[in-house]
Structure 1
Amino acid sequence: MKRFAFGVLVLLIAGMAGRAEAAAGPWVKAGPVEARLVAAVEGTGTLDAIPAGLELRLDPGWKTYWRSPGDAGLPPTFDWSGSDNLDSAVHRYPAPHRFTLLGIETVGYDAEVLFPIRAVPRRAGEPVTLKASVDLLVCADICIPQKVAVGLSLPAGPATPGPEANDIARAEAAVPGDGRASGLSITAIRSASGVVEVEATAREPFVSPDVFIESVPPVALGALEVTYLDGDRRAILRLKATDPAPVDLAGRTVTATIVDGARSVEVQVPVAAGATAAADGRGLLAMLGVALLGGLILNLMPCVLPVLSLKLLSVVRHGDRPPAAVRAGFLASAAGILASFLVLAAAMIGLKAAGASVGWGIQFQQPLFLVFMVVLVTLFAANLWGVFEVPLPRAVADRLGGQEGQGLGGPFATGAFATLLATPCSAPFLGTAVGFALSRGAFEILAVFAALGVGLALPYLLVAAVPGLARLLPRPGRWMAALRRVLGAALALTAAWLLSVMAVQVGTETAALVAGLMVALVLALWLGRRLGEGMRWAGAGTAAALALVAFGVPMVFQPAADAAPTESATRWVPFDESAIGREVAAGRVVLVDVTAEWCITCLANKKLVISRGEVARRLDDPAAGIVAMRADWTRPDERIAQYLAVHGRYGIPFNIVYGPSAPAGIPLPELLSEAAVLEALERAR
């Protein structure tokens, strides 16, 4: 019995050793490095691809190289010709780290590394023999090329996990991915004057980030400089070209890899041209001028036109007032605009600190904000129609003023309201200024948004500086009653537009229910006014209750099936950033239109340029070889926000054309023209 038990024990140990050997080949020593092949499974099973790996151990002080070794070195190469039943084997690289010696920058690994391998059998289910001849360059004070021959045989049988499965899984996790798991994101890459600047954000604060840039042809880049912002959740990483005649990377498509400890991210993106964040204060001063001009032009954009009703009534009402009163009223409106822009800036800073996506007008992606705007616009329209007046105690009325009062609260609210309705629009220069601000820190965001506010408030400031301008307007009279009704109707149309945006986000039935509540709200106010003093407060209370119910509607009713864009399926395809490169490689031109139902400038571009004339004919013509790709940002979409950020944009509209002659893309202006779009299509082809 003892001999029998001993024999059984020997067989069990031998079986375990056989299984361990099946999952790992023998170690092979070559100078300062030893290597072996390992597999995550003990049999081939019916797997289409076998998870395997090349494991290296290096003597202390020695290193080997990444796929892009830097200023010196060579990446490993594999020869699988001695293998049996192997169709292909593809190896991948875990995140590397940087070595600096005497000003020479190299990238690779020391101590140990495991390269994940995806081995595809020629005949699934049969035994596989892996044999690789691996050429390595290993370096310490000197560099030595080494060749190691490693092998591993996997029998047919169940593909049960082997003892090396966890190690291979960890190596796979160490390969840089798209950043969703690691919480890292590359938001922009810029290049100017031989300097490459990479901007990145992190879900958790950065600790010690590094960045590696790969381009064709390669460009030698020097030591890394890092600037931390937003509580270390944002970093600006700068590399300076060290070539004797540095080549600017602007316009090229590069592969950027950021490594921060165990976290990493890798993206392939075009490099934008422009001054880097390392520039001195003159860059900020120039951008403040751009922001000032963008805010001024915003007064002329379609989305601000409904606000002109309030501006016009305010100007006419002030026409016969003393200069000091006119100046105070217009300064109060300018203060309302500026305060609102500073509130927007603070919100953007808070969202960035929380790791959320930021952008110009993104509040219109939220149904509750749309309800707030619908209620607000409806109340303004009802007030212009004379449906209700807000009775206030005399002391409060003297301070706040109303539509007909001489206080400052009304003008201040008008300025704030103008800002809210201006945010779904993008004017020339505005997108550049907002993109600059949101790609930087809190100080730049506050400064640029303040300049935008001053630009939007310039007409008010002009009248405040020259109060006599108000005297050139007609005197108040009976004609103002008719004007109030017309302007109230304009605001009602604004409410209808906001409801159409809501219909896209949360469904037609939900938007219709909110619209019905607004009609009931106006009716309650009207009845309260018509039925006498005793019923006025009852009407106001009913209207307030209806407004509260309206806020609850989007939270109760989920988006319906029809809450989606109704764009022509024959012309436009959904946004797919990964498909752009494939279409361009196939010789086609790609027009990307980033739009939203709440963006009036986007809708104007669509109706005036994209959906009519020669541009529409080109897009509809299958023989033209143009892929029209639409990115709908009506609702929050992290993919679109990331795509915009990579291009240094944080607002829409954004249109860009790719093609064989423009693989990095040709950005188009915010306000499109037929000539600009057609020229870009031809250049890209």
Structure 2
Amino acid sequence: MLSYESKAAEPISPWVHNEFADIRLISSLSGTQGRSEIMLGLEFRLAPNWKVYWRSPGEVGYPPKITWEGSDNLAGSKILYPIPKRFNSFGLETFGYKDHVVYPIMARLTDKMRPLKLKAHVTALICGKICMPIENTLFLNLPNVLPSSTSFTYLLNRWLARVPKAVPNTCLKVLSAQGFTDNKNPKLTITVQSIEAIKKLDIFPEGPDGVSYGKPKILLSHNAKTATVQFPVKIRDNAQLVGSNLRLTMAEGNSLVERNVIITSGSTPNKLWSMLVPALLGGLLLNFMPCVLPVISLKLFALLQCSGAERRDIRLGFLASAGGIIISFILFGALLAWLKIIGLTVGWGIHFQQPLFLASMISILLLFAINLLGWFEFTLPRALAKLVENVEKQKIYCRISLVENFFTGIFAALLATPCSAPFLGTAIGFALAQGRIVEILLIFLLMGVGLALPYLLVAAIPSIGYIFPRPGIWLIVFKRILALGLLVTIVWLLTVLAGHIGQIWTLVISALLIIAVLVFALLRYFFYSRHSIWIGIILLIIVPAVVFVLPAPRNIGGERFDNTTRSENLINWRPFDLSEIDRLVKDGLLVFVNVTADWCLTCKVNKSLIIEADPALSMLTRRKVIAMEADWSKSNPKIAKYLASFGRYGIPFNAVYSSIAPGGIPLPELLSASAIKKAIDQASGLKSD
């Protein structure tokens, strides 16, 4: 160990000479009087091709360390690290400095009216073809006199200017930080955006412990203002990449920026086979989501109708309903594939954004309700009835033909599409983002099979139909109850329709529906059921016809991206605005986003029972939490594009943003208060319980 003591008046320590490096302490000021902080510097003068390390050295090495035992009037210190250079030796990626470097040190004084006496014990690792640890003690004394600049002030300021700043910077913005760990070659992908064309970008990631990063691959957008930087990752000691805090040091020209972000989970392009089970499970779980509550009455009624029937009749009826569901989903997939090919917006449940579709559903639902009330019997034309085997026999037992069962399945599929479910979003995201036409059709086929599984179960075990007694007076009463449930669904669809055509026209249509119901009730006593089909046809077309001739609703094209629900809320929801999110997180605020729609019952349930209920309500009404809501009730390509950026094509959808999670932390489709808390804790840099 070598040590030298400087003269009291000198603002430097003498050089300490090592075999491949000389080091010393320097000061930007000559005295301490009136100063609570003084900028010092640890200067290295290295032999050719030798280097010393940065704060995070990479895959090998360690940075210089200083202990100050024996110093006087020193309250504390902080070493600052200029932007490093990248080195690659023997396939190992390291970060540091060659030839010459000054590490700025901010020293805090205990008493600004006393001299500062420093004793710095320095340990460092210097490397060339070999690595050599060094250990030196440096002495520097600053008298208690009025401070003035020294000959080292300019040198220190020059190196201080190369220290990245953790302050808002409009030149470089981190869009996302995603970890991909679901294969043998994990990687980290950073997406950054610049206001000018990117020319020489470098990024140095740090953290978490046990994770190191290799040489990055940089991909630029067509205008060179967005860069995707991919790092190979080495993980040791079972370190957790996704969900961890990441410190990014970025250099692009004169822009030197530090950012703290959270690594979110990236989705490695999935293989088709890996999506088959999620598609099946997603369709099955769709049976239990709030949006399919109207369908449950149809399923239950179909089962009740067949109570006491022969096994063959029960099996055929439920197979017909399952066939209607499965074929409907195949057609959904074909339609979305076609829309994707021609470049239009695609998404799950987008048909509920069309007023004509809503009006048609209202008419069909009303026909079902009137049928359950016993005021309307849908009879097939004789020629078509002959095509259905044992139709007459079915009418005796199941009271419904195979064709009617088939269309009931189609109707159930249509009603089941406004919302998402666990696994369903993953499967749809794969199909619409990565899938080819055949893959899209296969995914939607399995989703349909999943939704049809309850029907297929009854078809496989017809004895389930014997749980209920044979049809009787009780069934007539129960049919009235089910009809009431469908009428409630009609009221809900009318409220959705009102958002498209306005309240006045919705009231007009409601009046027409009431008149039609009264006409059905009256004509039931004067006409036989064979005339009812014509009344049914008139009812089926009257509401869609009125909607069709109405002027096109305003803002259907989605010119506004900030539309939000207008109901009274427990949370002060702001209109959704992506650019506003950037500004808010730079101000240190946390942003919670809720994408919803009037036709998404699951969204309504989530908002009422989870988001606007404690404990989530307390978390979202804090002073530094901003809640934003986007309404996708109407077609809005910008919202569709926003969802697609997360690989989502349906709602509900929620995400949390902060300064360390600028790309957003998406929440699971099956929302819970614990999921909201976990995302908020991550966005706040805290460890969730």
Residue correspondence of structure 1 range 547-586 to structure 2 within 5 A: 547-552=543-548, 554-555=550-551, 565-568=565-568, 571-586=572-587
Instruction: Confirm or deny that 1:445 pairs with 2:440.
Output: yes
- Give the structure 2 partner of residue 633 of structure 1: 632
Decide whether the 8 Å contact of 2:363 with 2:540 is kept in 1.
no
CA distance in 2, matches of 1:538, 1:679: 57
> In the superposition, relative to structure 1, how do residues 225 and 475 fare at CA in structure 2: closer, same or farther (>3 Å)?
farther
> In the superposition, relative to structure 1, how do residues 242 and 684 fare at CA in structure 2: closer, same or farther (>3 Å)?
closer
Instruction: Confirm or deny that 1:505 pairs with 2:500.
Output: yes
- Give the structure 1 partner of residue 605 of structure 2: 604
Instruction: Confirm or deny that 1:363 pairs with 2:362.
Output: no
Q: CA deviation at 1:405?
A: 4.1
- Which amino acid counterpart does residue 344 of structure 1 have in structure 2? F
Decide whether the 8 Å contact of 2:186 with 2:234 is kept in 1.
no
- Give the structure 2 partner of residue 324 of structure 1: 312
Decide whether the 8 Å contact of 1:573 with 1:629 is kept in 2.
yes
> In the superposition, relative to structure 1, how do residues 661 and 548 fare at CA in structure 2: closer, same or farther (>3 Å)?
closer
SS at match of 2:662: strand
- Give the structure 1 partner of residue 596 of structure 2: 595
- Give the structure 1 partner of residue 134 of structure 2: none
Instruction: Confirm or deny that 1:273 pairs with 2:289.
Output: no
CA distance in 1, matches of 2:555, 2:578: 26
Decide whether the 8 Å contact of 2:355 with 2:497 is kept in 1.
yes
- Give the structure 2 partner of residue 338 of structure 1: 326
- Give the structure 1 partner of residue 451 of structure 2: 456
Decide whether the 8 Å contact of 1:381 with 1:492 is kept in 2.
yes
CA distance in 1, matches of 2:583, 2:666: 19
- Give the structure 2 partner of residue 648 of structure 1: 647
> In the superposition, relative to structure 1, how do residues 640 and 216 fare at CA in structure 2: closer, same or farther (>3 Å)?
farther
CA distance in 2, matches of 1:427, 1:463: 23
Q: CA deviation at 1:675?
A: 2.5
- Which amino acid counterpart does residue 638 of structure 1 have in structure 2? P
2:335 to 343, 347, 351: 347
Decide whether the 8 Å contact of 2:287 with 2:451 is kept in 1.
yes
Residue correspondence of structure 1 range 283-322 to structure 2 within 5 A: 283-322=271-310
Cα deviation, 1:83-138, whole Å, max 9, x if unaligned, reads xxxxxxxxxxxxxxxxxxxxxxxxxxxxxxxxxxxxxxxxxxxxxxxxxxxxxxxx
- Give the structure 1 partner of residue 412 of structure 2: 418
- Give the structure 2 partner of residue 372 of structure 1: 360
Q: CA deviation at 1:556?
A: 6.3
CA distance in 2, matches of 1:397, 1:198: 63
SS at match of 2:288: coil
Cα deviation, 1:347-406, whole Å, max 9, x if unaligned, reads 110110111111111111111111111111111111111121134344533545587545
Decide whether the 8 Å contact of 2:326 with 2:445 is kept in 1.
yes
> In the superposition, relative to structure 1, how do residues 438 and 542 fare at CA in structure 2: closer, same or farther (>3 Å)?
closer
Decide whether the 8 Å contact of 1:329 with 1:408 is kept in 2.
yes
> In the superposition, relative to structure 1, how do residues 510 and 524 fare at CA in structure 2: closer, same or farther (>3 Å)?
same
Decide whether the 8 Å contact of 1:399 with 1:408 is kept in 2.
no
Decide whether the 8 Å contact of 2:284 with 2:450 is kept in 1.
yes
- Give the structure 1 partner of residue 616 of structure 2: 615
SS at match of 1:424: coil
Cα deviation, 1:236-257, whole Å, max 9, x if unaligned, reads x999757899999977899xxx
Decide whether the 8 Å contact of 1:188 with 1:198 is kept in 2.
yes
Structure 2: 5+ residue runs without aligned partners? Answer: 1-174, 192-198, 206-212, 222-226, 249-260, 685-689
SS at match of 2:356: helix
Decide whether the 8 Å contact of 1:188 with 1:647 is kept in 2.
no
Cα deviation, 1:292-330, whole Å, max 9, x if unaligned, reads 111111111111121121211211222222222221111
> In the superposition, relative to structure 1, how do residues 662 and 525 fare at CA in structure 2: closer, same or farther (>3 Å)?
same
- Give the structure 2 partner of residue 11 of structure 1: none
- Give the structure 1 partner of residue 478 of structure 2: 483
> In the superposition, relative to structure 1, how do residues 682 and 413 fare at CA in structure 2: closer, same or farther (>3 Å)?
same
Instruction: Confirm or deny that 1:546 pairs with 2:562.
Output: no
CA distance in 1, matches of 2:595, 2:177: 17
Of the two, which has the highest radius of gyration? 2
> In the superposition, relative to structure 1, how do residues 413 and 188 fare at CA in structure 2: closer, same or farther (>3 Å)?
farther
- Which amino acid counterpart does residue 296 of structure 2 have in structure 1? L
> In the superposition, relative to structure 1, how do residues 542 and 462 fare at CA in structure 2: closer, same or farther (>3 Å)?
closer
- Give the structure 2 partner of residue 129 of structure 1: none
- Which amino acid counterpart does residue 479 of structure 1 have in structure 2? W
CA distance in 2, matches of 1:291, 1:213: 41
- Equivalenced residue count is 464
Decide whether the 8 Å contact of 1:190 with 1:276 is kept in 2.
no
SS at match of 1:627: strand
Decide whether the 8 Å contact of 2:279 with 2:444 is kept in 1.
yes
SS at match of 1:665: strand
CA distance in 2, matches of 1:580, 1:657: 10
Residue correspondence of structure 1 range 7-18 to structure 2 within 5 A: none
Q: CA deviation at 1:333?
A: 1.1
Decide whether the 8 Å contact of 1:250 with 1:271 is kept in 2.
yes
Q: CA deviation at 1:596?
A: 0.8
- Give the structure 1 partner of residue 669 of structure 2: 670
> In the superposition, relative to structure 1, how do residues 587 and 296 fare at CA in structure 2: closer, same or farther (>3 Å)?
same
Cα deviation, 1:479-511, whole Å, max 9, x if unaligned, reads 011111110110111111111111123321222
Structure 1: 5+ residue runs without aligned partners? Answer: 1-185, 200-210, 227-236, 255-268
SS at match of 1:334: helix
Cα deviation, 1:597-631, whole Å, max 9, x if unaligned, reads 1111100001001122232234334x3x0010111
Decide whether the 8 Å contact of 1:574 with 1:629 is kept in 2.
yes
Decide whether the 8 Å contact of 2:178 with 2:266 is kept in 1.
no
- Which amino acid counterpart does residue 419 of structure 1 have in structure 2? A
> In the superposition, relative to structure 1, how do residues 542 and 392 fare at CA in structure 2: closer, same or farther (>3 Å)?
same
CA distance in 2, matches of 1:615, 1:540: 47
Decide whether the 8 Å contact of 2:282 with 2:423 is kept in 1.
yes
- Give the structure 2 partner of residue 178 of structure 1: none
> In the superposition, relative to structure 1, how do residues 238 and 367 fare at CA in structure 2: closer, same or farther (>3 Å)?
same
Instruction: Confirm or deny that 1:428 pairs with 2:422.
Output: yes
SS at match of 1:530: coil
Which structure features the higher share of helix residues?
A: 1
SS at match of 2:583: helix
Q: CA deviation at 1:634?
A: 0.9
SS at match of 2:615: helix
- Give the structure 2 partner of residue 384 of structure 1: 372
> In the superposition, relative to structure 1, how do residues 662 and 644 fare at CA in structure 2: closer, same or farther (>3 Å)?
same
CA distance in 2, matches of 1:665, 1:612: 23
Cα deviation, 1:416-457, whole Å, max 9, x if unaligned, reads 111111101211111111111111122221121111111111
Alignment identity in percent?
A: 42
CA distance in 2, matches of 1:302, 1:223: 45
Residue correspondence of structure 1 range 206-221 to structure 2 within 5 A: 217=205, 220=215
- Give the structure 2 partner of residue 68 of structure 1: none
Instruction: Confirm or deny that 1:397 pairs with 2:385.
Output: yes
> In the superposition, relative to structure 1, how do residues 548 and 214 fare at CA in structure 2: closer, same or farther (>3 Å)?
farther
CA distance in 1, matches of 2:344, 2:376: 41
- Which amino acid counterpart does residue 678 of structure 1 have in structure 2? K
Residue correspondence of structure 1 range 159-238 to structure 2 within 5 A: 191=180, 193-194=185-186, 217=205, 220=215
CA distance in 2, matches of 1:640, 1:507: 22
- Which amino acid counterpart does residue 454 of structure 1 have in structure 2? V
